[in-house]
């Protein structure tokens, strides 16, 4: 049976629940990207928070918190096979219990580790390269990450800008986090028009650009290395590359 879910983490966990309690899954897919197969039947699964909770508790208690985090990061990735990778991992992991993560290189464990590493690398990168501008006192940042990492950024920036108002906008997924006074919220956002920067904002941006250009030591120029660290696709929203 192919199980289809709504794209939420709880939805995915609900499918895992049915895999164990009802019928084995031949695959798990997001509804909107599902292509019907000739061999397998499919069933659309309603997300059920209670069933999801049972599964997440089982993961934390029977396997480990570390495994749970890896699974969550893997879910946030843009890997097209992620659901089946998670399912395969769990089938293996429920057998080996809290010893599972010691099988780092096992074929059922390695993919989870590697994907979640990619996701956390992207998170770490964006902690640095996300750029805010001051729009009438509100700090606004836009970006287009490879993976769905918005939710993983909030803790850091909520601490960094505790007493500011800010908004981080994922343009690829048309959603944003808004933060004000210790509270944050995820919202859907369509297009935001090109913003007009104030005089002062432009001044600061220009100072930064000048500083950035000036910091490079000519004798050691190495743009290849620079591209390794800041790939072209990330530069679009970085003030200093314009």
Partner 1 sequence: MDDNIFEKLKILSDAAKYDVSCVSSGVDRKNNTVGSIGNAAACGICHTWSADGRCISLLKILLTNDCIYDCKYCMNRVTNPTNRATFTPEEVAELTIQFYRRNYIEGLFLSSAVEKSPDYTMENLYRVLYLLRYKYNFWGYVHVKGIPGASNDLIQKTGMLADRMSVNIELPTRESLSLLAPQKKVENLLKPMALINHEISRTIDDKKHFSNTPRFVPGGQSTQMIIGATPDNDKTILNLSQNLYDRFNMKRVFFSAYIPVISAPNLPAISTMPPMLREHRLYQADWLMRFYYFKSEELFTETEPNLDLEFDPKMMFALRNMDKFPIEINKASYEELLRIPGLGVTSAQRIIRERKNAELSYDSLRKMRTVLKRAKYFITVKGKYYGNINFDPDRIKDEVRQQEIQKQISIFDLV
Query: From residue 50, how far is each of 23, 54, 161, 170 by CA, in Å?
Result: 19, 6, 35, 30
d(CA 33, CA 24): 21
CB of 51 to partner 1, least distance (A): 33
Provide, rounded to whole angstroms, the least separation between the CB of residue 168 and partner 1: 10
- Angstrom distance (rounded) from CA 174 to CA 188: 6
Q: Return the number of the residue (53 or 106) whose C-beta is nearest partner 1.
A: 106
Minimum Å gap between C-beta 162 and partner 1 is 5
Q: Which C-beta is closer to partner 1: that of 60 or that of 129?
A: 129
**67-93 burial, b if ≥16 CB within 10 A, otherwise e?**
bbebbbbbbbbebeebbbbbbbbbebb
**Cβ proximity to partner 1, 195 vs 207, nearer residue:** 207
In the complex, minimum distance from the CB of residue 95 to partner 1, in angstroms, rounded to a whole number: 14
* Residue 123, token pair as written in the block: 């998170």
CA distance 148 to 126: 12
55 or 74: whose CB is closer to partner 1? Answer: 74
Binding stretches for partner 1 (CB under 8 A): 99, 102-105, 110, 124, 127-134, 139, 141, 156, 159-164, 203-208, 210-226, 228-230, 238-240
């Amino acid at each position: 049976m192919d199980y289809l879910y709504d794209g939420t983490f709880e939805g995915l966990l609900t499918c895992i629940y049915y895999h164990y309690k009802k019928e084995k899954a031949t695959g798990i897919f997001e509804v909107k990207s599902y292509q019907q197969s000739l061999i397998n039947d499919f069933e659309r699964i309603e997300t059920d928070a209670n069933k999801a909770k049972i599964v997440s508790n089982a993961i934390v208690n029977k396997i480990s918190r570390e495994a749970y985090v890896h699974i969550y990061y893997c879910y946030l990735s843009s890997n097209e096979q992620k659901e089946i990778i998670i399912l395969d991992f769990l089938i293996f992991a429920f057998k080996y219990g809290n010893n599972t993560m010691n099988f780092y290189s096992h074929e059922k464990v390695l993919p989870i580790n590697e994907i979640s590493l990619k996701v956390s690398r992207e998170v770490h990168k964006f902690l640095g390269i996300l750029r805010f501008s001051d729009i009438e006192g509100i700090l606004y940042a836009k970006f287009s990450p490879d993976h769905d990492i918005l939710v993983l950024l909030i803790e850091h920036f909520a601490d960094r800008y505790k007493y500011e108002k800010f908004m981080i906008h994922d343009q690829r997924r048309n959603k944003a986090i808004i933060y004000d006074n210790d509270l944050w919220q995820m919202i859907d956002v369509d297009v935001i028009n090109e913003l007009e920067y104030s005089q002062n904002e432009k001044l600061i941006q220009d100072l930064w650009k000048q500083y950035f250009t000036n910091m490079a030591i000519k004798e050691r120029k190495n743009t290849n290395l620079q591209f390794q660290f800041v790939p072209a696709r990330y530069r679009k929203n970085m003030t200093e590359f314009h």
